[in-house]
Amino acid sequence: MSDILCITLNPTLDLSNEVDRVVPTHKMRVRNQRHDVGGGGINVARVVAELGGAVDALVLSGGASGTILEAGLKALPVGVHVFPMAGDVRIAFMVYEQQTGQEYRFVPEGPLVSEAELQPLLDFLETHPARFVVASGSLPRGLAAETYARMARIARRTGARFVLDASGDVLSAALDEGGIFLFKPSLSELEKLAGQSFSIEAASQFAGDLVARGSVENVALTLGADGAMLIHAEGVFRMPAIPVPVRSAVGAGDSFVGAMVWALSQGQGMREAFRFGVAAGAAAVMTPGTELCRRADILSLYAKACADQHEAQAARWTAG
């Protein structure tokens, strides 16, 4: 057992392809097809493992597609804990249009899962303490919106730091439960949570209110081309986006979370972990399809981000 448990309740087999142009009706011949195991928690585990960390993946799996998913997981350097379900693992499909550089992503809602199928996974969390428990991704149909809130409660009892990347009613219920160590929303997810549009400054204030009321200790807010912000009790720390050539947005958020959790597990402070998260998110968009990020790219971009920030700080001191 590792110190990091990554939970995926609605895993996917992710298929990615390339085509010259997407057109209706006509048969389109795709190429460069690849498939990867996916779903939020699995992607986070893949990134932790890519960086050399020890990590265990907890997944619900079933059907013929589940057999393929499990084989793919067992080929990775991660611990695998499979909890059976009657439904089939969903299959997601992504097409990259080469003429425009646009991506088209088709993601099924997933199978119907019962409370009885979920319970063995919850029992596992109760009896296998870890330093970090990461819950990432959507819930399959049939599970209550309070599912992640229940996991946060278990993590609090076992002394784990609970990391959450979710949205909608599931997120609201977990924040109402409180005690979340790290929450990573995008700006649009934060706006959906609040039910209103935000400027960057207003988003920072809203996240700060979540911290102040004890819902979460740290908020890593991603802002796309405007970079990212870390909001916690010590204040607000902002980083600009790292300019990179963009190939695919698939898994950028999961890469961000995975790199942050890996850095924290290695004893890094929250700000340094945040820098690793920004670097990993940028590294993920450099790779095609569902490949996620590469260790060498993360380390290179992290070093660049640190150097750029030191230069900017020196310039401010000189100007002062």
The set of catalytic residues is: 254
Q: Tell me if 62 sits within 8 A of 88, measured CB to CB.
A: yes
User: Which tokens go with 201?
Assistant: 């400054």
Cα distances (Å, whole numbers) of residue 226 to 196, 200, 285, 309: 19, 9, 15, 15
User: Which tokens go with 98?
Assistant: 């080469």
CA distance 233 to 211: 7
DSSP string, the chain: --SEEEEESS-EEEEEEEES---SSS----EEEEEEEESHHHHHHHHHHHTT---EEEEEE-HHHHHHHHHHHHTSSSEEEEEE-SSPPEEEEEEEETTTTEEEEE-----B--HHHHHHHHHHHHHS--SEEEEESPPPBTS-TTHHHHHHHHHHHHTPEEEEE--HHHHHHHHHH--EEEE--BHHHHHHHHTS---HHHHHHHHHHHHHTTSEEEEEEE-GGG-EEEEETTEEEEEPPPP---S--TTHHHHHHHHHHHHHHTT--HHHHHHHHHHHHHHHHTS-TT----HHHHHHHHHHHHHHHHHHHHHHHHH-
